[in-house]
Amino acid sequence: MSQTIREGFIIYVRYVDHVLWRNITDPVKEPAVRETIGWYIGEEKDVIGISWDRATKPFILQRSSLQSGAALVKNCILEIRTMPLQDFLSRSLSCWKQ
């Protein structure tokens, strides 16, 4: 990726999703383009990690925070950008405060 994204930033990603098909008469001709928004959790050589659901406090039965997300192949990413709603101190979505 050409831009530097810090861990914990909220990002928007548009990507080509692989399609698995089985036992159908008219196979899918091309993959779907999908999009997601979530917290950037890091990257390796060929993939980035994004979490779109996470606990705000560690789960009682686990020592670490539980998360849901995806590992996206970099070559399949069409667009990626940070979102403007960043709270740089807590690395979470900013909320309007009175």
Residue 95 has pLDDT above 60, yes or no: no
Tell me the β-bridge partners of 79. Answer: 14
In a domain, 37, yes or no: yes
In a domain, 96, yes or no: no
- CA distances to 9, 31, 43, 75 from 4, rounded to whole Å, are 11, 28, 11, 17
pTM of the model: 0.72
Number of domains in the chain: 1
Flag whether pLDDT at 98 surpasses 50.
Answer: no
Model confidence pLDDT, tens digit, residues 19-61:
877 888 888 788 889 999 999 999 999 999 999 887 776 666 6
Range of 18's domain?
10-82
Tell me whether residue 3 is in a domain.
no
